[in-house]
Each structure stands twice: as structure tokens, then as C-alpha cells.
């Protein structure tokens, strides 16, 4: 009879023992590379007298694989070398598991760690288990801000903000950092979008802007310098740049040409010189009917 209120209180609890896991089922989100703490605390009843066994299972998100044992506590020993995917990255956080803490840490999180983790505790006749969903997200990083189009007065162009990686959903926020520090009013509807479409640009738009990209686990930022200039200036600048690039190309071409020529010359110098000299001597001998010695000297000077 003394047991009756307890059973009523527990509602759906296990009737075969009073072991119960006190940590609620939950979803945990962490960034790639971080450590996930997966809690699993339990209480025992006086009738739970068997040996304590703790087992953590993982059913990976891709569903192709069956549940994998990832760490086990049995007969007062810890076994953690079951699952290659988590080798060396899963540990019990408590040094005294018998005290009712079966929580684990998974370190250096990877995207392949996404899945459902199940904590199973057994101390006969008591049994209990709890599931935790783990999601690993990638922080936004490598974000690039740039202008798509020409920054001329009266022209239309786009300001773009692109993170190299980052899990969805991503949130964007543009800010102006210089001058009035206020975004032009016509941009406000797009201040939380990855692209701002600028129409009929004016010099007042010039300044430094920042774009911040956020998701649930992190944020990243990039800066952009906008200089709205008259079209002629712009054309002049571009022409100047093109001339500069062309000159540089010509210079590089010349250097490459000379180097190659020099190398080729060095390589064949001996043979060629010898060849020329012999021909020269032969011709001179024929034409001038000089003696061989003087034609040799002349040819040496000529070549």
C-alpha cells in the first residue's frame, strides 16, 4: 500500500523498478568543432539492486545505419571504442557514474555526428532510457561583401553579401558605418537581405558599410567601401587601369622573351658560334682568297 501513491505520482513510469531518468528529452544544437554536452541524469529506487549498466546508442541521421553503441559502462569499466566515427571524441563527464550522472560529452563536433543519441540505464529490476537529438550547424564564415555593377552617379548596382559557408537559416543585417551612419531610406526594405539593389545612385550613398551574417550558432561580418563618382571619372579611372595593366603585360612579355632568348642562346652558343665561324672562314677564303690565318682572325672579330 505504501507503494500506491508513488505509482500514481509517477504516472507512466516503469512499473518494474523505480529507476528513472530525470533529464527531459531534448534537442541540442551546436556548432561544428565545438563540444556537445548530452545530459542523462538518473535516480535509483531502493529495489534497484542489480549491477549498473549504462549504454549510449547513436542512430545517425542518414538512417542507413542501424543504432550503434558508442560508449558503455558495465562491470565498473568504461568501454568507448565501438564506433569509428566518434573514436576518441566521446567521454562520460562524471567520474562517478554510480552517483546518477551518465552524461557524455562529444568533442570536436562534425556534421556526421548529427543524429539521435539514446542513453540507456539498467540496474535490475530498474531500466530507463532517454533520447536526445543532436544537430551540428556550421557557423557563417569567409563572408565577402562586394559591389555588382558600376558605382556611378545615376546608375543602378547591387551590394552583395556572401558567406562561403554557414548553415541555413541565415540572417543578414546591413549597416552604414561612416558619414550619417544611416542607410539611405530607399534601402531599408532590403537591410536584412543578402542583396541590396541600389537605384539611381547619388554621392550621398558613398561610405563604408558592413554586413553581418548570423545563424543560430555564430556570426560573421564583412565591410564594403562604396564610392559613388561621376561617370567620366569612372571611365577615366577604368581607362587608366586598363593602360596600366597593358603596360604591365607588355613588360612581363618582354622580360619572358628576353630570358628565353638568353637561355636559348647560352645553350647553343658554342655550336652556333663554331658553325658560323667555320662558314665565315670558308666564304672569306673563297671570296678574298686570303690565307686561312687572316680569315680566321677576321671571322673571330665578326662573330
Q: Which residues bind ligand NAG (CB under 6 A)?
A: 35, 37, 93, 105, 154, 200, 202
Residues 42, 19 contacting (CB under 8 angstroms)? yes
Task: List, in sequence order, the alpha helices (H) in the chain.
Answer: 4-10, 231-288, 292-302
Nearest distance, CB of residue 93 and ligand NAG, angstroms: 4
- Closer to ligand NAG at the Cβ: 202 or 233? 202
The SS3 assignment for 84 reads helix
- Closer to ligand NAG at the Cβ: 109 or 224? 109
Nearest distance, CB of residue 58 and ligand NAG, angstroms: 17
CA atoms within 13 A on the CB side of 282: 6
Nearest distance, CB of residue 180 and ligand NAG, angstroms: 16
- Closer to ligand NAG at the Cβ: 200 or 292? 200
Distance CA 160, CA 144 (A): 8
Nearest distance, CB of residue 198 and ligand NAG, angstroms: 12
Q: Enter the C-alpha cell of residue 125.
A: 529490476
Nearest distance, CB of residue 109 and ligand NAG, angstroms: 10
- Closer to ligand NAG at the Cβ: 57 or 90? 90
* Closest C-alpha to 130, from 28, 9, 31: 28
Distance CA 155, CA 125 (A): 78
Q: Enter the C-alpha cell of residue 92.
A: 562520460
- Find cell 658554342 and name the residue: 270
Nearest distance, CB of residue 199 and ligand NAG, angstroms: 7
- Closer to ligand NAG at the Cβ: 35 or 294? 35
Total residues found in the chain within this entry: 303
- Closer to ligand NAG at the Cβ: 82 or 92? 92
Residues 158, 193 contacting (CB under 8 angstroms)? no
Amino acid at each position: 500500500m505504501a507503494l500506491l501513491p508513488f505509482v500514481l505520482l509517477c504516472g507512466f513510469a516503469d512499473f518494474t523498478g523505480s529507476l528513472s531518468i530525470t533529464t527531459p528529452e531534448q534537442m541540442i544544437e551546436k556548432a561544428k568543432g565545438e563540444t556537445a554536452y548530452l545530459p542523462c541524469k538518473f535516480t535509483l529506487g531502493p529495489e534497484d539492486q542489480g549491477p549498473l549498466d549504462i549504454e549510449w546508442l547513436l542512430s545517425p541521421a542518414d538512417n542507413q545505419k542501424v543504432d550503434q553503441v558508442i560508449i558503455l559502462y558495465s562491470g565498473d569499466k568504461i568501454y568507448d571504442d565501438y564506433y569509428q566515427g566518434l573514436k576518441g571524441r566521446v567521454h562520460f563527464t562524471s567520474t562517478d557514474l554510480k552517483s546518477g550522472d551518465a552524461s557524455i560529452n562529444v568533442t570536436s563536433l562534425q556534421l556526421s555526428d548529427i543524429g539521435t543519441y539514446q542513453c540507456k540505464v539498467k540496474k535490475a529490476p530498474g531500466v530507463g532510457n532517454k533520447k536526445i537529438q543532436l544537430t551540428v550547424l556550421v557557423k557563417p564564415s569567409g563572408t565577402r561583401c562586394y559591389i555588382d555593377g558600376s558605382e556611378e552617379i545615376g546608375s543602378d548596382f547591387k551590394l552583395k553579401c556572401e558567406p562561403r559557408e554557414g548553415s541555413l537559416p541565415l540572417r543578414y543585417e546591413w549597416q552604414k558605418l561612416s558619414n550619417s551612419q544611416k542607410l539611405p531610406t530607399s534601402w531599408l526594405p532590403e537591410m536584412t537581405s543578402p542583396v541590396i539593389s541600389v537605384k539611381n545612385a547619388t554621392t550621398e550613398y558613398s561610405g563604408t558599410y558592413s554586413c553581418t551574417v548570423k545563424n543560430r550558432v555564430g556570426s560573421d561580418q564583412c565591410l564594403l567601401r562604396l564610392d559613388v563618382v561621376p561617370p567620366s571619372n569612372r571611365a577615366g579611372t577604368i581607362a587608366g587601369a586598363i593602360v596600366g595593366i597593358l603596360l604591365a603585360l607588355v613588360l612581363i612579355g618582354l622580360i619572358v622573351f628576353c630570358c628565353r632568348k638568353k637561355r636559348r642562346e647560352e645553350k647553343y652558343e658554342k655550336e652556333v658560334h663554331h658553325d658560323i665561324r667555320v662558314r665565315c672562314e670558308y666564304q672569306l677564303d673563297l671570296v678574298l682568297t686570303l690565307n686561312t690565318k687572316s680569315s680566321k682572325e677576321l671571322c673571330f672579330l665578326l662573330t
